[in-house]
Chain A
Amino acid sequence: MSTDTTADAITSRPAGREARERLYRYLLFACAATSIFVTVGIVFLLAKDAIDFFTLVSPVEFFTGTTWLLPRNEFGVLPLLTGTLLVTVIAAAIALPVGVAAAVYLSEYASERARSVLKPALEILAGIPTVVYGIFALVYVTPFLRFFGLPLNTFNVLSASVMVGIMIIPMISSLSEDAMSAVPDSLREAAYGVGATKYEVSTGVVIPAAVSGIFSSFILALSRAIGETMIVAVAMGSRSRLFDFANPLQNLWQGNQPMTAAMIQINSADNVSGPGFKSMFAIGLTLFVITFLMNLVSNRIAARYREEYN
């Protein structure tokens, strides 16, 4: 387009312009409002079947029951919840320290050139589909850990959780790195001015100043781990087990079934109908509420830190 026509298009003021402007405004508003419809749609459609489910199975039984066995119509969600918690805790134990340390390196130590290679590399890792991570856990990580003498079953909690942890590292490191880079250089310079070393600046100034951003990245990553489906569906088997406090390590060697994998299993089983099928929506709604709340909290924390330094 030549400059003339651009100027012409911009400056011409034809009649009926108002009507056109209004039309475009409404069209674009409709696009933006779609996101509200999606949320309302999720809540409404999931709640409809979830309520149906709760008329068949009492909520007390659902939230306090300790066995989840579809064929026998036993719908206690606790084993699924402990399964999810177990995965999340192990994944967090790996991903939180590694993610933050990686973020410190990228933000404080890495040269411009190293950063320009490392950041895209981490981004590409974050783009690997989760089903692939699941296959890594099942086909390569489990035999690898067995090689070290761990008594792992074919489907087990440990390798799946380790893989979930590795999957969320890029998320934590990139969000935390953003928070650390947002710390004003004047703070660092003040610390150097009173004779602090780089280590002291990193741990004593940058991390405390960015702590709310780091924390919000933790919450986002944990909500991602809670909602992670394919890794656990591929590598953790399909038998739900309540956490066994008598021998805690046994929980790691065996398979287990968190909430997300249970939904997949219900949907892929042919003979499930009635309350079994509807229970999927109850779990889905529970999952949606948990992750939605976690994201809200994370936003709040991140928003507070942004106010402080901008």
Chain B
Amino acid sequence: MATPEQGIDWAGDTGQVSRLRGVAFEVTCLAAVAFALVSVLVLLLYVSADALRPFSADPGWHLVFFLTLVVPSVSAALFYYRRDEPAGEVAYATTGLPVVGVLGAAVFAVVLDIELVTAVEMFALLVSALVAAGIIAAHARYRPRAAAERMAVLFGAPVVTILGVPPAEVTMALNAALSALGLSIEFGVRLLSLREVILLTPVVPLQWIMVALSLTVPVGAVLGGYVARVRANPRAGLAFVGGAVAVSALAPLVGPVVGIGATGWILLVTFCLLPVAVYVEGVIRRREGIAGLTFPLILVGGVVLGALLADLFGFAPPDPWLDWSFLTSAHSRTPAEAGFYPPIVGSVMMLIVIALSTFPVGVGAAIYLEEYAPDSGLAGKFITLVEINIGNLAGVPSVVYGLLGLALFIRVLTMPTGAVMVGGLAIGILILPIVIISAQEAIRAVPDSHREAAYGMGATRWQTTRSVVLPQAIPGILTGTILAVGRAIGETAPLLMIGAASSVRLAPSGFFDQLPAMPRQIFAWSTNLEPEIRHGVLAAGVVTLLVVLLIMNGTAILIRNKYQREV
């Protein structure tokens, strides 16, 4: 801090020189921002050009699409930016939501394709979970005062309906242990769970019906409930559910015509059409930024018109490396046939492991640190230590986490080298501190007055946390988690350390199969010196990975902006 004596040099010195110096400084600072952004943007443009090869098309093709797609969409964007800002946001969301929805549908299509979970299993699980929830809700309603009993019901009901008594895995482990001890007793008698009973049913309807029952109906019911609530009109909710069922019922007719099959249509309805319908309903109800709804129409119309015109004039479209066959075929030695399908599936399965293992632990830790942890005394010191430790873990290099995964999961717990589970758990531990820190921030942002109001009503700590704090903190927690998961998808070093194979030709169909992951495959291609790999297949892989990340980070930032405005 400047003392008054030093201050004399600068304060009040308002000559021409100082102004020039100020301008030069501002320009330097602006140049720094520009350097940080532009240097990477240029590299991104180069890699996209390699992946998409826009210059392999006729100039006429570019002209047609410039006129039908670029000019209308850019002028629409400019209009929103200048005149109608809410419409700009609506345009962004109505364009982004279907993209995210299609990605979600694609994930489920892959899950069904590799038979990680079949449609019947999904249905059985849903019904059993609903029955368990019903039992718990009924108990809470009819015996509201028996808390200890409710704990038993809370844990007992899912066991009875989903796992069976005793769970199949427990029986198997028990029998294995008994046979290892040389005893020839076998526990054959167990009470089948509701889920297993449903799975035993010999009559299995068509796949699309099962998917519709287990996905579209619950999603439609939840969204319909939301519509009924915001409109304060149960009939609107019923109409929404009815519409959802009607559109799903078109599956056997429309699906094959569109070329995605009946199941594909159901998935598209569930993940894309229904959420978009709810969002559009909200926009129209609020009467804010309705002009933005035309933006996706402009885009789709531009693409269709452009394709028709280019076909009419006979302009050749570009021949990109990143195309449909790249996304749906396995790696091959010939660059033209090399694909990215197994790595995409592997990354998705890894994400499932990460989400199931890291999210509950991370949010639980954040709740403890923010709501429960003592501030003073020896315990308080311990908590301070835990918090410092979490901060430091966030800065530990990822390669060290890979080493931890190798030592812990493969050498101590003897899991198979390079398995999906090992990769997911190692990277899950890596992002755990990030999840905890961002969840802590979200929980801290909930005003204390709300907690005090709850305590004042006689609520316990857990009741306050569950009913007051968490509902408000969820958007923040979600944002932080999506960003952390985005980081997890791109992590490569831990995968190398746990021995993920460089090229896996088959998509994994279980959590202990070999893990092919997007960044691992990209690294493998980067060691190949062939120009067709280096400036083609590699670039296509990089662009695929980046697009996935861009969508995830964009969603996270959108959620955060919406949430920040509401607070």
Contact = CB atoms under 8 A, between A and B. Distances in A.
Contact of A196 (B10, B363, B535): B10
- Main SS at interface, chain B: helix
A93 to B, nearest CB: 14
B506 interface: no
A236 to B, nearest CB: 12
B146 A45 contact: no
B143 to A, nearest CB: 9
B147 A28 contact: no
Interface in A12-45: 12-17, 19-21, 23-25, 27-36, 38-39, 41-42, 45
A1 B357 CA distance: 28
Given A128-B490, A194-B7, A123 B397 contact: no
Nearest to A209: B1
B350 interface: no
Residues of A in contact with B, size category: 35 or more
Nearest to A261: B399
Contacts of A281: 403, 407
Given A19-B151, A123-B557, A199-B26, 20 more contacts: A9-B467, A12-B145, A14-B150, A21-B460, A21-B461, A25-B368, A28-B364, A29-B368, A32-B368, A38-B404, A38-B429, A45-B404, A45-B408, A49-B407, A100-B32, A109-B29, A109-B30, A118-B37, A230-B493, A299-B391
B412 A45 contact: yes
B365 A10 contact: no
Contact of B522 (A135, A220, A223): A135
Contacts of A9: 463, 467
A103 to B, nearest CB: 8
B365 A268 contact: no
A198 B21 CA distance: 10
B399 A127 contact: no
A251 interface: no
B457 A127 contact: no
A21 B26 CA distance: 57
The residue among B7, B30, B33, B545 with the most chain A CB atoms within 10 A of its own CB is: B33
Contact of A17 (B14, B29, B147, B496): B147
B444 to A, nearest CB: 15
Closest 3 interchain pairs by CB? A129-B490, A227-B397, A16-B148
Interface stretch (B39-47, B177-185, B292-300, B307-315): B39-47
Given A118-B33, A227-B396, A33 B386 contact: yes
A35 B30 contact: no
A128 B151 contact: no
B425 to A, nearest CB: 11
A15 B149 CA distance: 9
B436 A128 contact: no
Contacts of A205: 1-2
A15 B145 contact: yes
A101 B36 CA distance: 11
A71 interface: no
Interface string B355-396: 000001111110111001100000000010110111111111
Interface in B471-503: 483, 486-487, 489-493, 496-497, 499
A200 B10 contact: yes
A16 B147 contact: yes
Interface residue range, chain B: 35 or more
Interface stretch (A55-63, A73-81, A241-249, A283-291): A283-291
B405 to A, nearest CB: 10
Contact of B365 (A31, A108, A141, A298): A31
A41 B404 contact: yes
Contact of B386 (A36, A173, A227, A294): A36
Interface in B36-79: 36-37, 39-40, 43, 46-47
A229 interface: yes
B250 to A, nearest CB: 34
B493 A128 contact: no
A85 interface: no
Interface string B512-537: 00000001001100100000001100
A138 B527 CA distance: 10
A20 B148 contact: yes
Interface string B526-557: 10000000110011001001100110011001
B187 interface: no
B117 to A, nearest CB: 27
B19 interface: yes
Contacts of A287: 397, 399-400
11 contacts: A7-B457, A32-B373, A35-B433, A49-B407, A102-B32, A108-B29, A128-B546, A135-B47, A139-B534, A260-B399, A294-B395
Contacts of B523: 131, 230, 233-234
A31 B493 CA distance: 26
Interface in A193-214: 194-200, 202-205, 208-209
Q: From A27, A42, A118, name the one whose CB has the most chain B CB atoms within 10 angstroms.
A: A42
Nearest to B522: A131
Given A105-B30, A124-B553, A264 B1 contact: no
Nearest to B19: A197
A129 B549 contact: yes
Given A31-B368, A295-B392, A122 B397 contact: no
Nearest to B466: A9
Interface in A161-207: 166, 169-170, 173, 191, 194-200, 202-205
